[in-house]
Amino acid sequence: MSEQTLHAYAVPDASKIAALRDAFGMLLDIEVVQETGSTNSDLMARLTELQKPVFRLAVHQTAGRGRAGRSWSSEAGGMLMFSIAWPMTQASHQLMGLPLAVGVALAETLHSLDLPVQLKWPNDVLRDGKKLAGILIESAAKKDSGTWIVAGIGLNLQVSDTFEAQIGRPIAEAPWLARMDRNALTAALLNALARAFDQFEREGFSAFLARWNKLHAYANQEVRIIDQGQVLQTGFALGVDATGCLVLQTTRGQVSIVAGDVSLRPLE
């Protein structure tokens, strides 16, 4: 897809997205900007000023961030990149399963749009074994009680060959979604995520546990858990438990893995 074609599809409009919100989506204010460093950073810097949830989308991010301090490269128009700031009544230690719940909401919405995807623990959405979307959750304590969370989403739609060459690894794309009305696609994801945040606040991760395991990309497959290049554990990925930890069946029995900064890799 040429750069000109990419930009032709990348025309999100805040008022049009707002008009497509459902009862849950209407809980958020909508912001759309052409360019910013990072929508997560933008919202994190404003948490003390926010009075309600906010959805912020950027056509292009120049300093996007992924998990564990990694950078998130982007191409204007070829991706959907946004963040949501949402106030939770729970303390931060009670939100361990939230990144997985966000993944469930994303994956189920994509399935409803005829795009079959799976989830890779703890925070990736895969298509055909390649990364289609990533999730970054950040948090800060609220003044009174509870926690502000900022959930950043980067979803590949369709990127140029030049960009993929710069990344240096294969990435998944969703050409069908790239040709959807961008406002309708954005609103569908916004509504689903708002519903998920509301449900998580009321019911916790238990409402998402079975749904996540149903979408598990490496269910019962042998995987490695890696931290800074070092293999910490090897075993069969059984699924996640009630706290969002990954349960591995190892030669020494079952082990629960806390997300932290570790990564999961399938055993070749």
Q: HEC states along 8-73?
A: HHCCCCHHHHHHCCCCCHHHCEEEEEEEECCHHHHHHCCCCCCCCCEEEEEEEECCEECHHHCEEC
Which amino acid does the sequence have at 155? L
Q: SS3 for 163?
A: helix
**What local confidence, expressed as pLDDT, does residue 78 receive?**
84
Report the top-level CATH class of 218-266. mainly beta
Q: Mind listing the pLDDT tens digit for each residue in 6-38? A: 444 457 999 999 999 999 999 999 999 999 999
Q: Hey, do 3-213 and 218-266 end up sharing a CATH topology, with the first three levels equal?
A: no
What pLDDT was estimated at residue 260?
61
User: Rounded to whole angstroms, how far apart are CA atoms 220 and 216?
Assistant: 9
Please calculate the CA angle 67-242-66 and round it to the nearest 5 degrees: 5
- pLDDT by residue for the chain (268 residues), tens digit each? 444 444 444 579 999 999 999 999 999 999 999 999 999 999 999 999 999 999 999 998 887 555 444 555 566 678 899 999 999 999 999 999 999 999 999 999 999 999 999 999 999 999 999 999 999 999 999 988 999 999 999 999 987 667 666 776 778 999 989 889 999 999 999 999 999 999 999 999 999 999 999 999 999 999 999 988 888 899 999 999 999 999 999 999 999 998 766 778 887 6
Q: How far apart are CA 156 and CA 185, in angstroms?
A: 13
pLDDT number for residue 120: 96
Whose tokens are 């707002």? That residue is 18
Q: Is 210 exposed, middle or buried (0-12, 13-18, 19+ CB in 10 A)?
A: exposed
User: What is the per-residue pLDDT across 233-252, written as a single tens digit (0 to 9) for each?
Assistant: 999 999 999 999 999 999 99
Q: Residue 136: enclosing H or E segment and its boundaries?
A: strand 130-141
Question: What is d(CA 67, CA 132) in angstroms, rounded to the nearest whole number?
Answer: 15
User: What is the predicted pLDDT for the residue at 3?
Assistant: 47
Q: What is the pTM of this model?
A: 0.90
Class of domain 3-213: alpha beta
Enumerate residues 6+ apart whose C-beta is below 8 A from 162.
none
Domain borders along the chain are: 3-213, 218-266
